[in-house]
Each structure stands twice: as C-alpha cells, then as structure tokens.
Amino acid sequence: MAPSTAALVNLSPAELSFLRSTLSQTPPVRLDHTKGPRDFRSMRAEYDVLPSANGSARIALEDGTEALVGVKAEVERSPMRPMAGEERNLLTVAAGDRMALDGDEDEDSKGKGQNSWVEMSVEIPGFRDEDSLPVFLASMLTESLLASGELKDRLYINRRFHWKLYVDILLLSPPLSYPLALLSMTTHLALLTSRLPALKSERDEDPLFDDDWDASISLYPRAKGKSAVSTSVDKPPVIVLAMAVGQNIIFDPCKEELAVADAVLAIACRSGDASSPGARLVSIRTIDPPSHLTPPGVPNSMNSATGGTIPTSSADALTQRELLANSGVWTPPRGGMRRGLVSQVIKMVVGSGGVGEEVINALQSVEVG
C-alpha cells in the first residue's frame, strides 16, 4: 500500500461530514460544481522546455501545482557475456564465427534490454530523497514504465554498448494533492517527445551517431501510413488516480476530496491497438488515503463541553458511537475497497472510451499541436 500525501487538510469534523455527504449523493457534487466525477482539473502542458535534454515537459495544474521532467540519454558500455545457449568462450571463437554471432545478435534487440538501463529520480519540496513518498513515486513510475519491456529493448545499441536513460522528475511546488498522476502525465509527455541521435555505425562497432538532430529517432516512434491502423506502437504509460466515496467513483480528486475518500486507486494504463482499442491495464495500486488519519467527530451527547455526558464505560462509548455512525457525525472510513468496486474502476479507465484513453489522447494532442 502506498503512503499518503502531505499534511491533512484543515477541515473540522462537521465540514468533513458535509463534504462526504455531498460526494456520496447521486450524482455527486464536487467542490468545483462545474466538474463531473470523470472530469480532470484544467492544466497547461508544454514540451521541449529544456534545450540540453533529449526530452522534457512541464505541466501546471490550475491550483498552481507544477511538475518538470527532463530525460537524458548517455552511451554506456555493456558487460561482455556469451549469448544465450552458448557454452564456448567468445574469445576462442574463430573470427568468421564471431562475426556470424555478432550479426545474429544485431538483427533483433528484443529481449536484450535490462531494467537497470533506466534510472528515475523524484524530487519533492519538503521531502528528502529517502522519504517514503518520493521513493514510492519513483518505484511506481518505474514499474509501470518498464512493464511492457519494449522501452529497455529500444535502449540496446549492440552487444557492447547501450543507452542509459536518466529520467529526472521535479515537483516545482509543495504537493497540494497526491502528485502521482501529475508526475505520470508529465513523464509521459517528456518520454513521448524524447529523441535519440541516429546511429551510423554497424554491428558491433563503436557507436557513431549522426550530428544532424533533424535525423534523430524518436524514443517512441509513431506508426505512419496505412500500417498505422494495424500496427501496435508502444507508448509511455499514464497513471490515473481514482477514489471511491460510497458507491461513487471520482477521478482526479483534490486534497479536500481525498480527505473523505473511502479508498484510492492508482491505475497505470497504456494505449491499445486496432485489435484492442482504448487503453490497456498495466498495473494497479492502492493508496492509503489521508481520511484514515483524520480524528473522529464527537457527538453532543458525548461532549461534556456542550452539555452532554461522558460515558461511564468503554462499552457504552462504543455503543453510542455505533448508534451515531449515520447521524452526520464525522467518522474516519475503515477497511478497503470491495472487489466489485475495483472492477468497476478498472472498466471506467481501460477499454474503448475510457478515462485512460481520454488522458492519453489529450497528451498526444499536445505533441501533435
């Protein structure tokens, strides 16, 4: 279970109870009355904001939260090791046989990449690098990014060299809400627009690249022509944040809405293809909502400051709390999310016309524009 975000909101038990009741009704009434349960906060997105990076992006939300991501690629030497199934030492193979082996390896890089070739770091104001929040965010983003296995294979140059990809994520403002979705969208846009120099050398030679940046190759190439309809092109994943309040599912919650959530899910998805339109599920994680840490309200009948009487025993206190659980007094939610509700959230995110597809298409339109 992921750690929750920063400090709790400054809302009284009465305000928390009222906010939860408005979000639980059908249809739910959000703090921004113009937004529906599937609507996201407006944002401003731009890419190629760091001229010295292979790719970069910046996204600012309407509440002032802003994230910046830079992608840098460097050539590193790969450890020399025999090919799979080869028992002979490559140093003793004849020159002709060695060239044949190298040629076979250079024909296809599928399955030759390594997860260690991608390094991701997350910096958040007010948090140290070893704190639980930035550590989990980096782990979650890396896990979803490497899930398909296609990115690490694109970093393969030849048997002796590979690209090392550094993804530096910076939250430019203190987190006003759980920042996972914002960091994921910014990383998606930065990777989507990242480019690598074109390779001019062949086979197992020392890599030689084209100096012309116009000839560079996109890290995530886009299918073109007639084959674009039927070709599956891997794209960076996007993580969508959804919370449950009663029977309602609300996306992109703000910090006040998270304060009354029953459960919060982080769903990572990627774009599909012609055979499976919409978005595909990559991973799913539960987030411990801050509502679990809010103190419960005290009914008037148990508050001596308002003329009530204090229960004489713990058994009486428990009974009165249970009786007043639905009387409008704020009580922190307990337990998690039912499996049926988790399935409902996944269906709303993935598939044709889902929330995941809408987010991916919106970010791709920024690059096209």
> Can you say how many angstroms the Cα of residue 213 is from the centroid of all Cα atoms in its chain?
30
What is the predicted pLDDT for the residue at 230?
36
User: Would you say residue 323 lies in a domain?
Assistant: no
Residue at 236 is within a domain: yes
Q: Which residue has the tokens 């995941």?
A: 356
- Weakest mean pLDDT among 105-109, 141-145, 206-210, 267-271: 105-109
188 close to 165: Cβ distance less than 8 angstroms: no
Helix (H, G, I), strand (E, B) or coil at 157: coil
Q: What amino acid is encoded at 59 in this protein? A: I
Does any domain span residue 138? yes
Q: Is residue 317 part of a domain?
A: no
Angle, CA 52 vertex, CA 209 and CA 203 arms, to 5° = 15
**What residues have CB less than 8 Å from 366, skipping those under 6 apart?**
45, 46, 47, 189
> Does some domain include residue 359?
yes
Residue 300 falls inside a structural domain: no
Expressed as residue numbers, the domain containing 28 is: 13-82+106-294+330-368
Is pLDDT above 70 for 145? yes
Q: pLDDT digit string (tens) for 30-52?
A: 988 788 899 998 899 999 999 88
Both structure tokens of 221? 């190439």
Burial of 358 (0-12, 13-18, 19+ CB in 10 A): middle
pLDDT digits (tens, 9 = 90+) for 298-331: 666 666 555 565 556 655 555 555 555 555 677 7
pLDDT at 76 over 90: yes
Confidence at residue 226, expressed as pLDDT on a 0 to 100 scale: 43
Instruction: Output 14 or 187, whichever has higher pLDDT.
Output: 187
Asked if residue 192 belongs to a domain, the reply is yes
* pLDDT over threshold 60, residue 67: yes
Q: Does residue 44 sit within a domain?
A: yes
- Integer Cα distance of 1 and 185 in angstroms: 21
Q: What secondary structure letter does DSSP report for 33?
A: T
> What CATH number is given to the structural domain containing 334?
3.30.230.70
- Greatest alpha-carbon pair distance for the chain in Å reads 96
- Lowest-pLDDT choice from 93-102, 111-120, 144-153, 184-193: 93-102
pTM, two decimals, is 0.82
Q: How many domains does the chain have?
A: 1
Q: Distance between CA 141 and CA 70 in Å, rounded?
A: 14
pLDDT at residue 88, rounded to an integer: 43
Cβ–Cβ < 8 Å for 260, 245: yes
